[in-house]
Structure 1
Amino acid sequence: MTLGGGGNGKKALPFYNSPSWRKTRKAVLARDHYLCQICLKRGVLEPAVIVHHIDHLKERPDKALDEDNLQSVCAVCHNRLHPEKGKQQEELKQRKARVIQARANPEII
């Protein structure tokens, strides 16, 4: 089973689909009462939907299932923790051509 995250996360997919990860993820969400731990520190109650590796999976695969290395976070906080993932989407947006339809002014024709 490959644990490394690679740049696109596809290499880590088998790990995130494994029964051991699913069990650990469920335990961490329950431990954190399904609340984003980052928002909670600011006094905000926000549901957690992601379990985040504090020490990144590709850098520390030995801590992949270590509950002390995992925290429940909301999608917004997870995106802040991983700004590099948003860059891929920005690059795609920049590549798209913007099409503008031009029409002749009927008053001049």
Structure 2
Amino acid sequence: MSTYYAENEMFSGANSGTWTGGKVSYYGPNWYSQRRKVRARDKYTCQDCGITEAEYGQELSVHHIIPFKQFNGDWKKANQLSNLISLCEFPCHRKRHSKMVDDIV
């Protein structure tokens, strides 16, 4: 399934439901440590569907509840543990981003 999506660019660039003109590629120097803390806090479990990393077969994504871009580069505030949540990438993380796009429109 992921090969099909990749080949057809269904979730990339302007075809992505999360496309907002580009992606933030740097979340600050504390991002990796905060990411580890959030996954541990959430017991390595997706906070939307309840799947664990062991069941999912890979690390969960860590999502900014209030988008990083809204902090205008203030990574200390953006990366507060209270603004971060563990989610499986598909479908939960993508659903969260799709809802954010719907809220903006």
Q: Give the structure-1-normalised TM-score.
A: 0.56
Q: Residue 39 in 1 paired to residue 49 in 2?
A: yes
Q: Residue 51 in 1 paired to residue 62 in 2?
A: yes
Contact between 1:53 and 1:71, CA under 8 Å: does it hold in 2?
yes
Q: What's the secondary structure of 2:86's corresponding residue? A: strand
* Aligned match of 1:14: 26
Note the residue ranges of structure 1 that are not aligned, 5 or more in a row. Answer: 1-5, 85-109
Q: Which has the larger radius of gyration?
A: 1
CA separation in 2, counterparts of 1:46 and 1:77? 13
**Alpha-carbon distance, 1:35 to partner:** 0.6
Q: Which one of 44, 68, 73 corresponds to residue 87 of structure 2?
A: 73
Identity of aligned residues (%): 38
Higher relative contact order (CA 8 A, sep 6+): 2
* Aligned match of 1:60: 71
C-alpha RMSD of the superposition: 2.1
* Aligned match of 1:23: 33
Q: Which runs of 4+ in 1 moved over 2 A?
A: 45-48, 60-63
Contact between 1:39 and 1:46, CA under 8 Å: does it hold in 2?
no
**Alpha-carbon distance, 1:7 to partner:** 2.3
Q: What's the secondary structure of 1:68's corresponding residue? A: helix
Aligned residues: 71
Note the residue ranges of structure 2 that are not aligned, 5 or more in a row. Answer: 1-19, 54-58, 100-105
**Alpha-carbon distance, 1:19 to partner:** 3.8
